Amino acid sequence: MDIATILGLILGFGLILVSIAMGGGGLGPFIDIPSGMIVFGGAIAASLINFPLKNNLGAFGVIMKCFLFKLPDAADTIAQFKQFAEIVRKDGLLALEDKVSEIKDDYMRRGMEALIGGASAEEISELLETELAYIQTRHVNGKKIIDSCGAAAPAFGMIGTLIGLVQMLRALDDPSKIGGGMATALLTTLYGALVANVVCIPLAGKLETRSMEETMIRELMIKGITLLGEGATPRAVGEQLLTFLAPKTRSSIEPKAA
Amino acid sequence: MDIATILGLILGFGLILVSIAMGGGGLGPFIDIPSGMIVFGGAIAASLINFPLKNNLGAFGVIMKCFLFKLPDAADTIAQFKQFAEIVRKDGLLALEDKVSEIKDDYMRRGMEALIGGASAEEISELLETELAYIQTRHVNGKKIIDSCGAAAPAFGMIGTLIGLVQMLRALDDPSKIGGGMATALLTTLYGALVANVVCIPLAGKLETRSMEETMIRELMIKGITLLGEGATPRAVGEQLLTFLAPKTRSSIEPKAA
Amino acid sequence: MDIATILGLILGFGLILVSIAMGGGGLGPFIDIPSGMIVFGGAIAASLINFPLKNNLGAFGVIMKCFLFKLPDAADTIAQFKQFAEIVRKDGLLALEDKVSEIKDDYMRRGMEALIGGASAEEISELLETELAYIQTRHVNGKKIIDSCGAAAPAFGMIGTLIGLVQMLRALDDPSKIGGGMATALLTTLYGALVANVVCIPLAGKLETRSMEETMIRELMIKGITLLGEGATPRAVGEQLLTFLAPKTRSSIEPKAA
Amino acid sequence: MDIATILGLILGFGLILVSIAMGGGGLGPFIDIPSGMIVFGGAIAASLINFPLKNNLGAFGVIMKCFLFKLPDAADTIAQFKQFAEIVRKDGLLALEDKVSEIKDDYMRRGMEALIGGASAEEISELLETELAYIQTRHVNGKKIIDSCGAAAPAFGMIGTLIGLVQMLRALDDPSKIGGGMATALLTTLYGALVANVVCIPLAGKLETRSMEETMIRELMIKGITLLGEGATPRAVGEQLLTFLAPKTRSSIEPKAA
Amino acid sequence: MDIATILGLILGFGLILVSIAMGGGGLGPFIDIPSGMIVFGGAIAASLINFPLKNNLGAFGVIMKCFLFKLPDAADTIAQFKQFAEIVRKDGLLALEDKVSEIKDDYMRRGMEALIGGASAEEISELLETELAYIQTRHVNGKKIIDSCGAAAPAFGMIGTLIGLVQMLRALDDPSKIGGGMATALLTTLYGALVANVVCIPLAGKLETRSMEETMIRELMIKGITLLGEGATPRAVGEQLLTFLAPKTRSSIEPKAA
C-alpha cells in the first residue's frame, strides 16, 4: 500500500484515539457492537441492493489489489524497452525470449510473449487494450461501491441514532439512563462519519489516482511493445515513450534515459 | 429477483430489527400507523403530483418485472443463435419454425417469427428497436418515480416529526407525555430515512444496472436475428455477437463457443 | 386539472390532516397567520426580487392554464387531419372552411385559417413555431418561479423559526410559555416544508411533463397543416403524424387509424 | 431600480418586521451589533480573500449600476433606428450629426459618432463588441461576488452561533443568562439566513436577467448601426432589428413599427 | 501575498476575535489543543489518504508560491517586448544578450536565453509550454488539496463534537460539567467551520484566479518571444500582445503603448 495512505489512516484514527484518551473515560464508551452492526452492515446491505452480486464480491479484491499491488516504475519500464530495442536490433525479436521470462509484470510479459510468438501488432494491441478496458471497468465498479458506502454509512448512522433516541425517550422516566442512552445513540452517527470521512471519501480519491497511473503505465507498455514489433531504434523507443510522462517526471528521467 | 437485492434487503432490515431488539423495549415503540401513513402516503402523493397517472400506475409493475423477470443468459443466447445459423445453412430459414416455438423469451420469439414470416431485416430491426425504446422509456419512468420517492420520503418524515413536535410541545404541561410524544415524532424521520436509504436509493441503482443489461441482451438479439436473415455462417454469428459482451465474460464464454 | 395532480394534492394534505387529527389537540395549534405570512409572503418576495415583474405577474396564469387547460388528444387530432386530407383530396382546400370553424383548439384553428387563407407553408410554419416558442418560454419562466418558491419557502420557514426561538428564549423566565412559543416557532418550518415538498417540487415536475406534451401536440399540428398544404394523401398524413407518438400509444392508435 | 426588486425587498423585510412585532417584545432583541459584524464582515472578508481586490471594489458599483441604470427601451430604439435610416436615405449619413447629440444612451451615441466620423463597419462593431464583452465580464464578476456572499453569510452565521453557544455554555451556572445568551447566539444564524435568502440569492437571479437584457439591447444597437452604415432602408432596419425581440414583445411592437 | 487576501484574512479573524472579546469570558474557552488536533490533523490525514504523497508534500509550497510570488506586470512585459523588438530591428537578436540577464522573471529569461542561443521558435515554444503545463498541473493539484481540506475540516469538526458529546453525556451525573463539556465539544465544529469558510473555500477561489493570471502572462511571454524570433516590428509586437489583455486593462495600457 502506498505510504501516504498508510500515514493518513494512522494519523486519522490515531488523532481520534488520542483525542478520546485526553477527554477521559477511556475507549469503552465508544465501542458498541450493535452500533457498528447497523453502520457497517447497513452500508454493505445498501451496496448489495445497489450493485450486481459479482461487483460486490469483487470490490474488496479490487480495492486491496489497487492499493497493495506495486505498479512497475515508468522510468524503469522505459529503460527496459530501450534495452529490448537494442537486443532486437542486434539479434532479432527471438533473442528477447530469455529476457521475457524475467519480466515481473504479468501484463507486460503476456504482451511480450505474444510479440515473440509472432502475433501481429494489431492482435497484441487489441489483446492488451481489451485487458486494460477490463481493468478500468473493475476500478470504476470498485470506486462506485466505495462511493456508495461513503454515502450509505452516514445515512445508517442517522438511522441508528434515531432508533437509539426513540428507545431512550421511551425510558425517560428513568433519568439516570438518559445520558447513557443518548451517548450510545450518537455512536452510530459517529461511526458513520468516520467510515465516510476517514475511509471512503479519501480512498475513492486515491483509487482514482491509482487507476489513472495504471492506465498510463499500461498504455506506455502497449506503445513500447508496438514499437518493438515495428523494429524501432532504441532512441526512437525512448523518445516516444517519454511523451507518456508528466513534464516534471520526464525531465527527471531524461538524464537516465540519455 | 436477483440474489444480491434479496440478501441486501434482508441484511438491511434484519440488522435494524436485531439492533432494536438488543436495545430492549421490543418492536412496539417503533410501530406507529399514522407515522407510516404520512411517510409512505406522502411519497405516493408527491409522485402522483409529479408524474402522469399512467406512469404512476405502471411504476410498480415496471419495478417488479425488472427485478423478478429473469433475463435470458447472454452466453446461452449466443449459442442458440449459432445453432440456428447452422440449421439455416443446412435446411434454410423455414426449418427454424419448430425451434422458434421453443424460445422462451417473448421478445426474441416475436423477432424470430417475423424473420421466418418473411419480414425484411429493416422491418424486423425497426419493430424490435421500437419495442426496446419503449422498454427503456418504462425503465426510465420507473427510475424517476423511485428517485422521487427517495427524495420525498425523508421530506415527509421531517414534516411528520414537525407535526409531532408541535403536538408534544403544546402538551408540555404534562411532563410524562414528553418522552413518548417526542419518540413518536421521531418515528416519521426514521421511516423516511429507511425508505430512502434501504429501499429507494439502492433500488434505483440496481434498476439502472438491470436496464443496461436488458438493453445489451436485446441489442444482441436484434443483431443475431439480422445476421440470421443475412445468412451469416455460425462462426460469423458467434464472433459478431461476442463483441456485445464485456471482456471478462467474453473470455469465459469463448471456450464454450469454440 | 389532470386527475393525478388532484389525487396527489388531496392525498398529501388529507394524510397530514388525518395525522394531525389522530395526534389529538385539533387543527388549532397548526394554524398561525404570522407564520403563514412569513413563509408564503417570503417566497413571493424572493420571487419578485429574483424575476422580472411581468414574469411574476404571468406565473400564476401560466401555471393555472397549464394544469386546467385540456390539451387536444393526439389520436383525435391525427384522425381529424386524416379526415381533412380526405376532404382536400375530394373538394380542395377551400372545402375545409366549414370544418375549420368547428376546431376547438385555438392554435390549430389559427393555423388552419391561415392555410385556407392562402398563406404559404413557410409562413404558417413560422407563425406557429414562433407562437410555440413563446408558449415554451412562458412554461420555462413559470417553472423557474415554482422552483424558486420551492427553495425560498423552507428558507423563510427557517427564518421564521429563528425569530420565534429568539422571542421564546427572551421570555424564558415564564416557563409556561416555552412549549407554546417553541411550537409556534416550528410552524414556519412546517409550512415551508409543506409548500416545498407537497406543492412546489412535484408541481414543477408535472409542469415539465405537461410542457413536453403540449410541445409534442403543437409540433404534430404544425406537421399536419404542412402536410395538408402539400396535398398529402390521408394515408401519408396518418403515417407521418403517428411518428410523433410514443411507441405504446402509437400501437394503441394504429387500429383506430387503420 | 426596477419596481419588482423594490417591492420584493419591501415585502420581504416588511413581513419579517410585522411578524417580529406580532410576536411581542419589540425589535430590540433582534438587533445586536457584534452579530451583524460577524455576518456582514465575514461575508466581505470571504469575498476579499476569494476575489481580486479590483473586482471587490468594483462589485458594489456594478450591482448598483445594474439595478439603477435604466436601459433604453427596445421598441423606442428600433423606432429611432428606423427614423435615422429615413434621414440617411434622404440626406446622407452626415445629416445624422444633430440627432446623435440627442441620444441619451452613452453606448449608442459613441457608436453613432464613430459611424458619422467615418469609421468602417468593422471598426465600429469591434469597438462596441469589445465594450460589451467588458460590460459582461463586470456583470459576471459582480454575480460571482453576490453568490459568494450568499454562501458565506450563512456560514459566518453558524460560526457566530457556535461562538455564542460556547460562551453561553461556559456561563451555565447562572441559569438566568441561558435564554438571553442562546437568543443572541441564534441572531447570527438569523442574519446569515436573511442576507442569503432575502438579498443575495434573489439579487443574483435578477442581475443575470438584467445582464441578458443589456446584452440584447447592446447587440440590437450594434446591428442597427451596422445597418445604417450599409445604407439599409428603414423597412429593412425595422425588420432585422425586430428579430432581436422575444415573440410576444415583437407582436406588441409591430403595430407601432408598421 | 496580494493585499486583498491579507485584508480578508485579517478582517475575518479580527471580527471573530472582537466578537469573542465583546461576549466576555476572554479567548480562553475558545482554545483547546485536542480539538485543534482533530480538525487540522484530520483534514491533513484525509488529504494524505486522498492524494499521492508528492502532491501533499508539494501543496504547501505551491500555495505559498502562488500567493507570495509576484507576477510580472502585463503592461510592463509588453513594453519590454516592444523595446526588445526595437533592439532586434536595429542590431539583431544577439544585441539582446545584455538585456536578457536583467530580466527578473525566470520563465521569461529562460525563454529569451534559448532564443538568443539559437533555438528554433518551435523548440522554445515547446519548452515553455511544457513548463506552463507543469505549472498548471501543480496549481490544479494544490487547489484539489485545498478543496479537500475545506470539505474534510467541517467533517472532522462534527466527528470531534460527537466524541465530546458522548463523553459529556457519559458524565451526566455531574451536572456541573455539562456546560463545559458541551462547550468544548462544540469547539471542533467551530474550528472546522473556520478552516473551511475563512481559509479553504475563499483561498481556493483566489488560487484559481491567480492560476489564470499566471497562465495569461506566460502565454503572452511565449507569444512575445516567438514574435521576436520572427523579427516582428515593435508595432506588430505591441498590437499582438495587447490582445492577451482584458478590454478594460487594454485601453488603460494603449496610451502607454502608443
pLDDT in tens, D142-178: 899 999 999 999 999 999 999 988 888 887 677 677 7
Closest CA to A85 of A222, A225, A218: A225
Contacts of B35 in chain C (CB under 8 A): 19
Nearest to B172 among C24, C178, C189 (CB): C178
Rounded Cα distance between A115 and A110, Å, is 9
What's the average model confidence in pLDDT over B235-258?
Answer: 64
Is residue D220 pLDDT above 70, yes or no? yes
- CA E29 to CA E15: how far, in whole Å? 17
- Model pTM score: 0.85
CB contact under 8 A, A48 and B190: no
A156, D38, D183, E183, E196 from D158: Cα distances, Å? 26, 10, 13, 15, 12
Which range is least confidently modeled, B47-51, C160-164, E92-96? E92-96
CB B215 within 8 A of CB B198: no
Least Cα separation, residue B31 to chain C (angstroms):
15
Please count the residue pairs, one from chain A and one from chain E, whose beta carbons lie less than 8 angstroms apart: 138
Residues of chain A in contact with residue B198, where contact means CB-CB under 8 angstroms, are 42, 45-46, 49
Q: Give the Cα separation of D82 and D86 in Å (integer).
A: 6
With a pLDDT cut of 90, the percent of chain E lying above it is 20
- CA dist., res. B15 & res. A39, Å (int): 9
Find the range with the poorest average confidence among D52-66, D223-237, D239-253, E188-202.
Answer: D239-253
User: What does the longest C-alpha to C-alpha distance in chain A come to?
Assistant: 91
Q: If you measure CA to CA, which chain D residue comes closest to C165? A: D183
Which candidate from A176, A182, A196 shows the least CB-CB separation from E169? A182
* Inter-chain CB proximity B49 and C246 less than 8 Å: no
Which of A44-53, B14-23, C248-257 bottoms out in mean pLDDT, i.e. has the lowest?
C248-257
Which residue out of D50, D54, D132 would a mutagenesis test of the E interface target, given it has the greatest number of E Cβ atoms within 10 Å? D50
- Rounded to whole angstroms, the maximal C-alpha distance in chain B is 91
Q: Which chains touch A (3 or more CB pairs under 8 A)?
A: B, E
In chain B, the residue whose alpha carbon lies closest to the alpha carbon of C249 is B134
Chain D touching partners, 3 or more CB pairs below 8 A: C, E
Of A256 and C218, more confident: C218
pLDDT of A257: 36
Contact (CB<8Å) E167/A12: no
- Full DSSP string of B23-91: HSS-SGGG--HHHHIIIIIHHHHHHHHHS-HHHHHHHHHHHHHHHHSPPPPHHHHHHHHHHHHHHHHHH
| Distance in Å, alpha carbon of A181 to nearest chain E alpha carbon | 9
Helices (H) and strands (E) in chain B, counts: 12, 0
Where do runs of H (alpha helix) occur along C172-246? 178-194, 201-229, 234-242
Residues with Cβ < 8 Å from A232, sequence gap 6 or more? A85, A240
Answer whether residue B103 shows pLDDT above 50: yes
| Residues of chain E found within 8 Å of residue D41, distances taken between Cβ atoms | 11-12, 15
Q: Which three cell numbers stand for residue D232?
A: 439599409
Structure confidence at residue B40 (pLDDT):
92
For position A229, what pLDDT does the model report? 86
Position A154 pLDDT exceeds 90:
yes
Query: What are the pLDDT digits (tens) for A106-152?
Result: 889 889 988 888 888 888 888 888 888 888 888 888 899 999 999 99
Of B234, B257, B233, nearest to B245 by C-alpha is B257
Residue of D nearest to C47 (CA): D202
Residue A36, exposed/middle/buried by CB under 10 A (0-12, 13-18, 19+)? middle
Q: Return the pLDDT at C190.
A: 94
The residue with greater pLDDT, E114 or D246, is: E114
Q: Which residue of B has its CA nearest to A163?
A: B20
Quote the minimal CA–CA distance from A250 to chain E in Å. Answer: 10
| Partner-chain residue, chosen from A37, A53, A167, that has the shortest CB–CB distance to B15 | A37
* pLDDT beneath 50: ranges in chain C: 248, 251-258
Residue C222 to residues B6, C216, C230, D230: CA-CA distances in angstroms?
50, 10, 12, 37
Taking an 8 Å cut-off on Cβ atoms, the answer to whether C8 and B47 are in contact is: yes
Say what the pLDDT of residue E253 is: 46
Contacts of C57 (CB under 8 A, 6+ apart): none
Q: Residue D58 and residue D51: Cα distance in Å, rounded?
A: 11
CA distances to A160, B28, B178 from A166, rounded to whole Å, are 10, 11, 12
Top residue of A10, A16, A178, A209 to mutate, by most chain E CBs within 10 Å, is: A16
Interface partners of chain E (CB pairs < 8 Å, 3 or more) are: A, D
* Distance of alpha carbon A80 from alpha carbon A86, whole angstroms: 10
**CA distances to D59, D69, D157, E17 from D149, in Å:** 11, 23, 12, 21
Burial B22-40 (b: 16+ CB within 10 A, else e): ebeeeeebbebebbbbbbb
Residues of D in contact with C164 (CB under 8 A): 23
CB contact under 8 A, C4 and B53: yes
Of C22, C193, C248, the CB nearest to B155: C193
Average pLDDT for residues E117-140, to the nearest whole number? Answer: 86
Matching residue, cell 465583546: E22
Q: What pLDDT shows up at residue E150?
A: 93
In this predicted structure, what is the pLDDT of residue D247?
Answer: 52
